[in-house]
Amino acid sequence: MKNFDEKIRDKLFNAEMPVSSGLWDAIEQNLDRKDKRPKVWFLLMSLLIGLPLLFFAYYYPISVDSKEKPSLENTDDKYFAENSVLSDRFENFVDTENLVSDNSMKLNQTLSIEKIPSLSYNSIGSFKNSPQNLSFQIASGNKQRKLTPFTQIGLAGLNKEIIFQLNQEEDILLFPRLFNSGNDCPDFKRKWPGLYLYSQLGSYYPFQSLSSDGSEMSSLISERDLTESGVPSFSFETGLGYDFYNGLFVQTGISYNQINIKFYHRQEDIINNITSIIIDTLFNPQGEVVSINKDTSVYQEIGVQELTVNNSFKMLDIPISVGYSYPLTDKIHLRASAGLIFNMRTRSRGYMVDSNGEPYEYGRNDNDLFKTKWGLSYSGALDLETIINDKFSFNAGLNMRYFSKNINVSTNAVDQRFFNLGIVAGVKYRI
């Protein structure tokens, strides 16, 4: 039978056939098309940036509702008094300067200052169901003396605010209290009220998946699956974050990750040669040596050889994540986040089996199996944040990280990927 197979193989294995002349052009066109495909990471980045913006656009429509005044009760009468006094003073000022008729429009604009309280500055887009009492405020008018129009937009909550002032030329004299709703008013001196420092420690289990482009590596993959298994690994991350009023938060920093893989190899029927030397010394009654007999023999011991090593992948990363914090109670928030992790550097070291099933060491002096930069990976987290006081809070929950890319260099024919799943606990300090 072999003769028959071999003869056919000899005839056909190196056989050639002519190819149509236009085939290369078709291949080349497809190669061009492939080059122009957008990168997946670019689309993901666009989504990460675009989705929060859409969220803002959806929840903060700029509209004026002059009827709803939920916080006006907190506003003291003195405020109106001050404004009317200022307006009166301004009218006097205009009169004394004898403005010509083309300034009348500016005068009208200036007079609208009196109407600012009626804009219900604390009511637009108010979230009554939120403990943070979020509100969106918008106002416009003219400055007191220079008749300079300005626009001021603010977003305020408990002890937090973002203020944008357009075409600002000097400090505002008239409107520092425009966004003030009484005792709950934000402090305008703080520029980054949601800024915080964070640190967190994670422990996770790495799920390793091995694959190959063809079936030729299937036996090696099976052997590696048998000898390599994930064991508890850890990560440490620290950095800066920012809490927005609507519950969104972003954070970035630097992290150290270590993926641990246990390598266990057992080799049966190992033959060990043992040399035995027996020396017989014969003494006479006087204690003198009569003879020395030396007998050397070699015998074989059959057993098993076991090798257990902790393979490690040590990584330095830059994580960027965006999340949403939902207040379950005043003190406990449920947080969900997703993000990208940029791997800056990875060192790999350990043991694996070769195609003959023999273990060998890699990464001690050089590493020709794994990339030193793993590129992009994706992260996700779900945790509970417990607010201890104004400054501190603790969080704990679940964490995952997925490496979609093959981490091998081209000399390593087996594709390798990781999916890490574990728990994380950390502390947050508001600056």
Partner 1 sequence: MSPLSLNSITEKELVALCLKGDRISCKQLFELHSGKMMALCYRFARDKNEAEDILQEGFIRIFNKLDLYSGEGVLEAWMRRVMINTALKYKQKNVTKHNYSDIDDKHVFDPTPTIIEEMSKDEILRLVQNLPDGYRTVFNMYVIEGYSHKEIADSLGIGESTSRSQLVKARTLLKTQLLNLIRLAG
* Least Å from the CB of residue 31 to partner 1: 6
| Among 102, 187, 213, 288, contact with partner 1 (rule: CB under 8 A) | 213
β-sheet bridge partners, residue 222: none
Shortest Å, Cβ 244 to partner 1: 42
Asked if 271 touches partner 1 (CB under 8 A), the answer is: no
Rounded Cα gap, residues 135 and 153, in angstroms: 11
Cα gap 134→179, rounded to integer Å? 12
Q: Is 356 in the site for partner 1 (CB under 8 A)?
A: no
> Taking the complex as a whole, how short is the minimal distance between the CB of residue 3 and partner 1, in angstroms?
5
DSSP conformational letter for 298: E
Nearer to partner 1, 8 or 49 (CB): 8
In Å, what is the CA distance from 225 to each residue of 208, 399, 417? 9, 25, 13
Contact segment (CB under 8 A) with partner 1 among 26-34, 99-107, 112-120, 289-297 equals 26-34
Give Cα 335 distance to the centre of its chain.
14
What is the rounded distance in angstroms from the CA atom of residue 106 to the CA atom of residue 97?
13
Q: What is the DSSP string of 314-363?
A: EEEEEEEEEEEEEESSSSEEEEEEEEEEEEEEEEEEEEEE-TTS-EEEES
Binding of partner 1 by 12 (CB under 8 A): yes
Q: Is 18 in the site for partner 1 (CB under 8 A)?
A: yes
What long-range pairs does 162-169 form, CB within 8 A, spacing at least 24?
Answer: 162/245, 163/188, 169/143
User: With binding defined as CB under 8 A, does residue 3 bind partner 1?
Assistant: yes
The DSSP H or E segment spanning 44 is helix 40-59
Report the residue number, 31 or 105, with the smaller CB distance to partner 1: 31
Cα–Cα distance measured from residue 334 to residue 14, given in angstroms and rounded to the nearest whole number? 65
Q: Shortest gap between Cβ of 6 and partner 1 (angstroms)?
A: 9
Nearer to partner 1, 4 or 299 (CB): 4
CA 272 centroid distance within chain = 52
CB 322 within 8 A of CB 48: yes
Give the number of residues in contact with partner 1, rule: CB under 8 A: 34
Q: Should residue 287 be labelled a site residue for partner 1 when binding is judged by CB under 8 A?
A: no
Q: Which of 48, 107, 413, 425 binds partner 1 (CB under 8 A)?
A: 413
Regarding 21 and contact with partner 1 (CB under 8 A), the answer is: no
Smallest distance, partner 1 to C-beta of residue 405, A = 13
Closest distance between partner 1 and the C-beta of residue 312, in Å? 24
- Name the minimum Å distance from CB 353 to partner 1: 17
Is residue 14 part of the contact set for partner 1 (CB under 8 A)? yes
Q: Name beta bridge partners: 210.
A: 416
Which residue, 95 or 225, is less far from partner 1 as judged by CB? 225
Q: How far is the CB of 178 from partner 1 (least distance, A)?
A: 60
Q: Give the closest residue to 423 by CA, choosing from 202, 200, 198.
A: 202
The residue (of 6 and 76) whose beta carbon lies closer to partner 1 is 6
Asked if 410 interacts with partner 1 (CB under 8 A), we say: yes
- Tokens of residue 417, six digits: 């990927």
How many whole angstroms separate alpha carbon 215 and alpha carbon 219?
Answer: 9
Q: At what angle do helices 77-97 and 104-111 cross, to 10 degrees?
A: 170
Q: Which of 418, 271, 416, 412 is nearest to 355 (CA)?
A: 412
Tokens of 43: 């689309």
Site track 214-243 with partner 1 (rule: CB under 8 A), x = hit: xxx-x-------------------------
Q: In the complex, what is the shortest distance from the CB of residue 43 to partner 1, in angstroms, rounded to a whole number?
A: 19
Interacting residue ranges for partner 1, rule: CB under 8 A: 1, 3-5, 7-9, 11-20, 23-24, 26-28, 30-31, 34, 213-216, 218, 410-413
